[in-house]
Structure 1
């Protein structure tokens, strides 16, 4: 197993109703999260975001249509003690680039790395997400229901 780079992406997927897709980790059933993944050598953060969404959900979003939005926000957090062995010796922190994308809840989700998924309201997702950085990203970058905004439109 090669060691991970301490630089990753977090991609918050949400619907027009502002429901958030959370994935249940297969190595910790209490750990619910948005799409995440390590930036590989030679990849840009946005390339990693598209790759990880496809790998973890089966959704092939369009780079040309800019389906994934760069939130221009980077979290730095202390790596969980149980996961330090995955990183080079002495690594303590990870830098996490935040992205988001609006998708339809009707899209078929194909899990490859997780046990389960749930669509939750924004408030429920904030409550359920395991990591603080994920909760903050949901709170900050998922808009209030877009349906309510469009009701008054012609």
Structure 2
């Protein structure tokens, strides 16, 4: 029996105080770099989803750092190649942005099933390297909001 993903996900930008950003290279698409992402499981809160995805994809325990729900949502069209993971007829996903602040860059343990490698980059380079427009936007929001100290913010984006 096919178990479909829920079209609700998290994007967690893992960053340092000085705005270096962790990126992961997708195993199913070499050359596609991204922040931690993942779909919500039934019964999970968004905070639990974010913590689980960070642990699964990097080995980091969010309880040891500052995990913030940015209260920003993106509603976007799913890439055609990944729609089979969702129930028939589902074409869009709602993504909730989070940030995980670390005091400095540290080695992480990636999930080889999901990622080929990782890299820490200054926020500008990270925003340019990610394949997803919403991920690039999240990194730019991090830099902008961090400088103006406006966290948390509440914004909904529609990228149809």
Structure 1 moving runs of 4+ over 3 Å: none
The answer for the alignment partner of 2:11 in structure 1 is 10
Hey, what's the Cα distance between the residues in 1 that align with 2:36 and 2:109?
13
Contact kept? 1:71, 1:141, Cα under 8 Å? no
Query: Which deviations, in whole Å up to 9, do the C-alpha atoms of 1:105-151 show, x marking residues without a partner?
Result: 4433000121000101111011001100000000002435xxxxxxx
TM-score of the superposition, structure 2-length normalised?
0.84
RMSD: 1.7
The answer for the alignment partner of 2:83 in structure 1 is 84
Contact kept? 2:16, 2:105, Cα under 8 Å? no
Aligned pairs, number: 143
SS at match of 2:141: helix
Q: Closer, same or farther in 2 for the Cα pair 1:140/1:106, shift >3 Å?
A: closer
Task: Report the structure, 1 or 2, having the larger strand content.
Answer: 2
- Compare CA radii of gyration and give the structure with the larger one: 1
TM-score of the superposition, structure 1-length normalised?
0.87
Query: Offset of 1:41 from its aligned partner?
Result: 0.2
The answer for the alignment partner of 2:70 in structure 1 is 71
